[in-house]
Structure 1
Amino acid sequence: MKKIMFPVLIILVLTAYTPAVHADLAGSTVLSVSLANYDPNPAIAGNAVDVRIGIENIGGTTTNDLMMEVVPEYPFELVPGQSAVQDVGIVQEYQADSNANIKIVTYHMQINKNAPAGSYELKVKYYEAGSTQVTEKSLSLDVKSKESAEVIHIDQTLLVPGKQSSLKFTINNVGNAPLRDLTFSWDNDDKIVLPVGSDNTKYIKYIDIGNGTDLDYQVMADTNAVPGLYKLNLHLTYEDSMSNQTKTINTFAGVYVGGGTDFDVAFSDNANSQMSFSVANIGSNPANSVSVVIPDQPGWSVSGSNSVIIGNLNKGDYTVASFKLQSPLSNMNSQNGTGRSNTSFQGRSMQRSMNGSSDTVHVQIAYTDTMGERNVVDKYVKIGLQNIASADGQAGFQGRRGAAQQASVLSDNMLYFFGIIVLVGAVVVHRKYKSRKLLDPDFKMKDLFKHEKKG
């Protein structure tokens, strides 16, 4: 119905303003070409527009085989499949109470998407077929720039549970008109990712053509979140100046919650020629296929395998990995039980070894994170020189202690033997003194020793 009413209204308007046929035009053809209307009005850059051109014969002679041609120039383009030339046909001479002298020609045009707002001239030509007489006409159309915005970029795609992170959204004006009074908000249906320190809504007063603005949020993912991809719903509203209505854009983006983790490694024990290390997952994510590796490093050597597979470690879990680690100090300790004759030399050698050895071990933890990527974490564990000597040097130290104990026992036995000899001698002397005393009451102890000397 709307399409039918347009031509009827146009004809009525043209008829109402048609000048009376003057007597001097009765024998000639006079054509009046004008812009009837265009839809939408104003035309929108980047969109199509229907242009209706009115043709009225106000002369007294019929026009046969009239041709109408549009000359598309910037910012106007013909819609693909649309011909620039149209055959209008016969346009009757002016007759009172008749519309036979009026024709409407419609063109489907495309407005260049980069056209700034303003008025533009659409040129048309009309002529009779086969005639060299061509008349040109310019029709003015108003073009308005198209307003368009998009949330084009999110700078963060990975969030670690329990860790506060910055999340930045970039909103660009991709249209040909400034954007005013914008409101942006986002939400997560699962409530796993939430803003901290502010709410989820921000306001923008103005974004010029071709420009953008950044909106920064501080966000945090739930510490108990199951690792995976989570959906963020994005909402943008702004005022559409063409319709004076609020335009809303609803879209979404994804962020991954999970990722890597961290470990703590500590020296645990040194026994049975093996050093043990406690390995704890102190991060916010589980670790899969965990391996503990002792890489090649100065001052340390591994007897046997330098890698231990300990499996999966959930956050907060720990386990123990053991290696047969040796250092120059431990090797020196093992050789220190050969005998007491080398004690001084061994002491000097041990001191030099302790001065040249490192008491820190480089440990690597390799694991697979929640995104399926393999990672390696380097840790440096301080052992302590006393712990290095506590196991591998234990036998040497025990050997030296045994030799010392044996020498001590021998020394004690000789003291006992000497004491017994002294005691026996004292008893013998005392008995001789008593026997002499009975025979001679004036006999003195010193007389005994004099007598023994003379004898």
Structure 2
Amino acid sequence: MKKIVFVLLLVFAAIGAFAAAAAEPIVQATVTSYPSGIVPGNDGYLQISFKNIGTATATQIKITNIFTEAPVLFGNWNGDIGPLAVGDSMTTTLKFSVPGNTAPGIYSVTLAVDYCDGSSCKTIYPTGVISVQSSPSNLEVTSLSPKSLKLGESTKMNITITNRGNVASNIIFTMTSSDGALLPIGSTNRIVIPSIGANSYYEVHPEVVVNPSATPGIHSVIITLQYTDKAGLNQTIASTAGFEISGETDFDVTLQDYTTGMVTLSVINTGLAPAYSTVVRIPPQDQFKVPGSYTSVLGNLNSGDYSESSFQILPLKNATGGKLLVEISYTDMLGVRRSLQKEVLIMPTNTSAMISRGGNSHTISQGMTYIIIGII
């Protein structure tokens, strides 16, 4: 009986010694990349999940190194994780960047992770993958000028198309006015662009004219870009851009009559928009003075209308002639108060007066002391 008890004690002692010797931490780690697919030029994160499936606490867990096939940049990172008790889990993240010139593909990332049990330490090498995808073409209209146009005005617009993604080819640009306020000249609302490289831009210059019957204010155009992306797929992007049709107009100032010391001017609205509360003024100037009233109120002038204003003018500093400055102020259709200046050239003569409008001149016999030329 004593022998049996002794044998049992020996067996239990051996089992206890074996169990004590077998108690150790076992750390498992998994690596996951977020997002699952990343475009060059963007940032991502590695999520590292740790779990202790052993029978003792793991201490001094630390990421000591990172190995990757891709030109991925991890910058500054802290690999200290700390202890992990039996059965516990823990998660940490590392931020990385993918340079813009990285080729698409699947790249492996391996971490060196140390953990210890007392003075005994081990290293494990969990591995994950980073999926770098080709960046899609991303075309957008980034600028449009001029932003303000006049009724009836024709101009070449400057429109910038920027590609913030991969190369785009066979691009067809079209621009359509949503309400007919802006009309193409010829067929230039459709422009073919061979290609726009990645992170590049391209400028197009469609010729347009503002519809004379359009209403001043804010109008829009729809710009459509049809193109082929790097994968050979056809893509279409439509965007809306705004521009202003101003209520500006223009005037001609011509000599209507002249007698000694008195000049009568004819002011004509040569633009396509009406002018409200129109005022003509002779501002202070070097060569002439106005001894009487220097302001004349003309009121409202529709397109093509004209009105007359008379002023007393006297030459200064023994001047025998010169340029008479005339200022016209008015309120446009959008309620904006505007001013512009015209010049009338006065020259001494006793034979005739020459009147110029828009570059075309004709002679009027006046038998006066000055030749007076209206310059537009």
With normalisation by structure 2, the TM-score equals 0.65
- Residues 173-219 of structure 1 show CA distances to partners (whole Å, capped at 9, x for unaligned) of 223x3233433333221111122121523333322233211111001
**Which of 317, 337, 341 is residue 305 of structure 2 equivalent to?**
317
Select between 45-54 and 313-322 the one with higher mean Cα deviation.
Answer: 45-54
Contact 1:46/1:146 (8 A) holds in 2: no
Residue 375, structure 1, aligned to residue 339, structure 2: yes
Q: Give unmatched runs, 5+ long, in structure 2.
A: 1-23, 354-364, 370-376
* Whole-Å separation in 2 of the counterparts to 1:386 and 1:301: 24
**Which of 240, 250, 258 is residue 246 of structure 2 equivalent to?**
258
CA RMSD of aligned residues (A): 4.7
**Which of 357, 364, 369 is residue 320 of structure 2 equivalent to?**
357
**Which of 249, 256, 264 is residue 237 of structure 2 equivalent to?**
249
Amino acid at match of 2:330: Y
Contact 1:117/1:144 (8 A) holds in 2: no
- Tell me by how many angstroms 1:89 deviates: 7.5
Amino acid at match of 1:43: I
* Whole-Å separation in 2 of the counterparts to 1:191 and 1:86: 69
Amino acid at match of 1:126: V
Aligned equivalent of 2:147: 157
- Tell me by how many angstroms 1:87 deviates: 8.6
Amino acid at match of 2:145: D
* Whole-Å separation in 2 of the counterparts to 1:183 and 1:162: 27
Pair member with larger Rg: 1
Secondary structure (helix, strand or coil) at the match of 1:191 reads: coil
Distance 1:62 1:108, change over 3 A: closer
- Tell me by how many angstroms 1:263 deviates: 1.3
- Tell me by how many angstroms 1:267 deviates: 1.8
Mapping of residues 60-209 of structure 1, within 5 Å: 69=63, 75=72, 85=81, 112=97, 114-118=99-103, 120-128=107-115, 130=117, 132-136=121-125, 139-147=128-136, 148-175=138-165, 177-209=166-198
- Residues 48-88 of structure 1 show CA distances to partners (whole Å, capped at 9, x for unaligned) of 6676889999xxx957667685967963669xxx9985999
Residue 268, structure 1, aligned to residue 253, structure 2: no
* Whole-Å separation in 1 of the counterparts to 2:41 and 2:239: 22
Contact 1:281/1:314 (8 A) holds in 2: yes
With normalisation by structure 1, the TM-score equals 0.55
Secondary structure (helix, strand or coil) at the match of 2:122 reads: coil
Distance 1:316 1:29, change over 3 A: same
**Which of 229, 234, 249 is residue 218 of structure 2 equivalent to?**
229
Aligned equivalent of 2:292: 304
- Tell me by how many angstroms 1:157 deviates: 0.6
* Whole-Å separation in 2 of the counterparts to 1:31 and 1:360: 95
Distance 1:301 1:38, change over 3 A: closer
* Whole-Å separation in 1 of the counterparts to 2:213 and 2:367: 43
Residue 366, structure 1, aligned to residue 329, structure 2: yes
Contact 2:51/2:90 (8 A) holds in 1: no
Distance 1:39 1:298, change over 3 A: closer
**Which of 38, 46, 52 is residue 43 of structure 1 equivalent to?**
38
- Tell me by how many angstroms 1:307 deviates: 1.8
Distance 1:69 1:63, change over 3 A: farther
Secondary structure (helix, strand or coil) at the match of 1:277 reads: strand
Contact 1:121/1:138 (8 A) holds in 2: yes
Distance 1:324 1:43, change over 3 A: closer
Higher relative contact order (CA 8 A, sep 6+): 2
Distance 1:391 1:297, change over 3 A: farther
Contact 2:323/2:343 (8 A) holds in 1: no
* Whole-Å separation in 2 of the counterparts to 1:322 and 1:237: 61
Contact 2:351/2:367 (8 A) holds in 1: no
Distance 1:213 1:364, change over 3 A: same
* Whole-Å separation in 2 of the counterparts to 1:319 and 1:289: 12
Distance 1:76 1:326, change over 3 A: closer
* Whole-Å separation in 1 of the counterparts to 2:171 and 2:142: 15
Distance 1:53 1:184, change over 3 A: farther
Would you say how many aligned residue pairs link Structure 1 and Structure 2? 321
* Whole-Å separation in 1 of the counterparts to 2:217 and 2:350: 46
Contact 1:70/1:85 (8 A) holds in 2: no
Secondary structure (helix, strand or coil) at the match of 2:265 reads: strand
* Whole-Å separation in 2 of the counterparts to 1:207 and 1:109: 35
- Residues 303-339 of structure 1 show CA distances to partners (whole Å, capped at 9, x for unaligned) of 31122122332221111111133569xxxxxxxxxxx
Distance 1:32 1:275, change over 3 A: closer
* Whole-Å separation in 1 of the counterparts to 2:284 and 2:149: 35
- Aligned-residue sequence identity (percent) comes to 24
Distance 1:301 1:241, change over 3 A: closer
